[in-house]
């Protein structure tokens, strides 16, 4: 059973839109099916997709148990103290629960490891499921608030490593606003002049044949920003199912058939070659500057080493 309280910002919204907002990446049609199958009021009345939600009410989604897809569940701890835990999230592990993942999430695994009490590490920012690397967690409400405020105010610095298609110029900056797509897959973002500002710094570290290893520093934190920006300058990230050379086709194919050998041959990697390599922030207890680093994981390191042998 999932429980969603309706806060003021959502009051007056259709129930299907509310469920879309609370469970990321749901299409409206999927949200409507979920509501018809398993949505109830706190009193046990079945819900309808077109109902309007009211502030303070609780929406319940009740469904039979199901088999969650297997995901990597082992994660390393890069740093731990009384206020902060930094983990090295493996690619394939969702950060938060969704309609598909509940127990197989970083949040659930943290509660299993540290206990479900006031000191359980609270995840302070997001990574896409297929992106690996550093995730900062706070061990108190105060530390969580300070870390999140630092990200929102752009005081903290993130640096990613990515393997992209093509020979990237030495360095540059992409300044292109992003917004959710108006047509096609609702999970995607697109370049749009009236969208929120989005800025990315990139630097080529090395080129091997038809690929470049780049350092990416987002100056803003928009959804899918690095992936869209690199695709926009003609260097999509290897393995990206949404923003690669075939646009959204591999994403839909993967949903329908899974990772077939033919699809893997086209993508070259089963996941996007994007890794959250480094986060620099002020420690919430005392303000000292810290940099947490996660080494390039084996799958990306092996792919990059293979390009040297192919050159």
Split at pLDDT 50, 70, 90, the class of 247 is low
Three-state DSSP state, 181: coil
Q: What angle do CA 269, 271, 272 make, to 5 degrees?
A: 95
Examine domains 2-61 and 76-310 and report if their fold is the same: no
Can you tell me the distance from the alpha carbon of 104 to that of 94, in angstroms, rounded to the nearest whole number? Answer: 7
Q: DSSP letters of 40-58?
A: E-TTS-B--TTPBP-TT-E
User: What percentage of residues in the chain have a pLDDT greater than 70?
Assistant: 97
Question: Residue with structure tokens 């630097």?
Answer: 203
pLDDT value of residue 66? 61
pLDDT value of residue 237? 97
Query: In the predicted model, is pLDDT for residue 99 greater than 70?
Result: no
Range of weakest confidence among 27-31, 78-82, 151-155, 203-207: 27-31
Whether residue 15 contacts residue 26, with contact meaning beta carbons closer than 8 Å, is answered with no
pTM (two decimals):
0.78
Q: CATH homologous superfamily of domain 76-310?
A: Pseudouridine synthase (3.30.2350.10)
Quick check: is 37 catalytic? no
Q: What is the CATH number of domain 2-61?
A: 3.10.290.10
Per residue in 110-147, pLDDT (tens digit) is: 999 998 777 789 999 989 999 999 999 999 999 999 99
Whether residue 291 contacts residue 278, with contact meaning beta carbons closer than 8 Å, is answered with yes
Q: CB-based contacts of 199: which residues, under 8 Å, 6+ apart?
A: 173, 174, 175, 218, 219, 220
Range of weakest confidence among 59-63, 83-87, 123-127, 183-187: 183-187
Query: In the predicted model, is pLDDT for residue 309 greater than 80?
Result: no
Three-state DSSP state, 260: coil
276: alpha, beta or left, given left = phi > 0 and alpha = psi -120 to 50?
beta
pLDDT value of residue 248? 67
The mean pLDDT value for 183-209 works out to 91
Split at pLDDT 50, 70, 90, the class of 24 is low
Query: In the predicted model, is pLDDT for residue 205 greater than 90?
Result: yes
Tell me the pLDDT of the chain averaged across its residues.
91
Split at pLDDT 50, 70, 90, the class of 25 is low
User: What percentage of residues in the chain have a pLDDT greater than 90?
Assistant: 69
Active-site pick, 16, 88, 128, 240 = 128
Q: Where are the domains of the chain?
A: 2-61, 76-310
């Amino acid at each position: 059973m999932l429980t969603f309280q309706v806060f003021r910002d959502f009051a007056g919204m259709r129930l299907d839109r509310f469920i879309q907002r609370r469970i990321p990446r749901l299409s409206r049609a999927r949200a409507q099916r979920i509501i018809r199958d398993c949505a109830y009021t706190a009193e046990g009345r079945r819900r309808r997709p077109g109902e309007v939600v009211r502030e303070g009410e609780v929406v319940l989604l009740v469904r039979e148990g199901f088999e969650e897809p297997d995901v990597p569940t082992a994660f390393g701890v890069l740093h731990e103290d009384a206020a902060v835990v930094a983990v090295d999230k493996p690619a394939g592990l969702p950060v938060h629960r969704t309609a598909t993942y509940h127990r197989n999430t970083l949040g659930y695994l943290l509660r299993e490891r540290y206990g479900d009490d006031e000191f359980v590490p609270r995840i302070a920012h997001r990574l896409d499921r297929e992106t690996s690397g550093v995730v900062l967690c706070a061990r108190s409400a105060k530390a969580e608030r300070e870390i999140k405020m630092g990200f929102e105010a752009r005081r903290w610095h993130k640096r990613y490593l990515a393997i992209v298609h093509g020979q990237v110029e030495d360095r540059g900056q992409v300044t292109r606003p992003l917004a959710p797509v108006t047509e096609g897959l609702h999970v995607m973002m697109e370049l749009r002049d009236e969208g929120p500002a989005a800025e990315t710094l990139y630097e080529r570290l090395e080129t091997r044949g038809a690929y470049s290893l780049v350092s990416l520093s987002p100056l803003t934190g928009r959804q899918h920003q690095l992936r869209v920006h690199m695709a926009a300058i003609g260097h999509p990230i290897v393995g990206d199912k949404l923003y690669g050379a075939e646009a959204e086709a591999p994403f839909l194919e993967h949903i329908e058939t899974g990772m077939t050998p033919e699809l893997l041959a086209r993508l070259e990697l089963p996941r996007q070659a994007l890794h959250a390599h480094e986060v620099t922030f002020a420690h919430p207890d005392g303000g000292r500057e810290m940099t947490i680093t996660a080494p390039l994981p084996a799958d990306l390191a092996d792919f990059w080493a293979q390009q040297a042998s192919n050159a």
